[in-house]
A and B are shown apart, each in its own frame.
Chain A
Amino acid sequence: SQQGEEDPQALSIQEGENATMNCSYKTSINNLQWYRQNSGRGLVHLILIRSNEREKHSGRLRVTLDTSKKSSSLLITASRAADTASYFCATVRDTDKLIFGTGTRLQVFP
């Protein structure tokens, strides 16, 4: 079963706009990770945020984590057509299993 639910399921924006994706999860976690997947290929790790962190940046990516609300958000600023992909959050609990959310399909139009 999946730990995370992502919202929205799909998002379409124009190049240059910002894209925000949200992830909610059910139980306590050690850390939360975001991955990108292009067209049914392998996943690429984007960023990891630990449970004691609230915000993290990596290039055009900004991730926030609110453990009280059991939610995280991924913001992609100044999006590009190459950002078109599916984005997944994944949580890590005590068992060290990586549990993926349902994913958000992002389409960026030139």
Chain B
Amino acid sequence: KAGVTQTPRYLIKTRGQQVTLSCSPISGHRSVSWYQQTPGQGLQFLFEYFSETQRNKGNFPGRFSGRQFSNSRSEMNVSTLELGDSALYLCASSLEAGRLLEQYFGPGTRLTVT
């Protein structure tokens, strides 16, 4: 089976712009979660989607949003980018919702905001 794929892998944007990141889960996986990783804050949970519904949300401002499509693919959007949004954004998929199951991570999208 192909692993979790994320596109693009690298992205440079300017403050004030908006960005959309994409994640394709492992075939058959219905849950997709997003994480932000920065040197200062570490790995932080953004949100989880299951069956096209947001199931859980972390403590991030409303500029961060996401959605999931019927084929389980997910996108996350960040509007009005700030310098502090520079980070590695990781997507993870699992068979079902709930953390009792292991999560499979993609390689991440490295976003740089200038």
**Contacting pair B105 A43 (CB below 8 A):** yes
CB contacts (< 8 Å) of B108 on chain A: these are 40-42
Q: Is A85 an interface residue (CB 8 A)?
A: no
Q: Is B12 an interface residue (CB 8 A)?
A: no
Interface string of A2-37 (1 = CB under 8 A from B): 100000000000000000000000000011010100
How many interface residues does chain B have, given as a range? Answer: 20 to 34
Q: Is A61 an interface residue (CB 8 A)?
A: no
**Contacting pair A31 B99 (CB below 8 A):** yes
Q: Is A92 an interface residue (CB 8 A)?
A: yes
Partner of A48 from the list B97, B102, B107, B110 (CB cut-off 8 Å) is: B102
Q: Is B45 an interface residue (CB 8 A)?
A: yes
Q: Majority SS of interface residues in chain A? A: strand
Q: Is A52 an interface residue (CB 8 A)?
A: no
Known: A48-B102, A96-B56. A41 touches B45 (CB 8 A): no
Q: Is A88 an interface residue (CB 8 A)?
A: yes
Q: Is A56 an interface residue (CB 8 A)?
A: no
Known: A42-B4, A45-B102. A98 touches B90 (CB 8 A): no
**Contacting pair A96 B107 (CB below 8 A):** no
Q: Which 10 A-B pairs have the closest CB atoms?
A: A42-B105, A100-B43, A92-B99, A45-B102, A43-B105, A42-B107, A96-B99, A98-B99, A96-B98, A97-B45
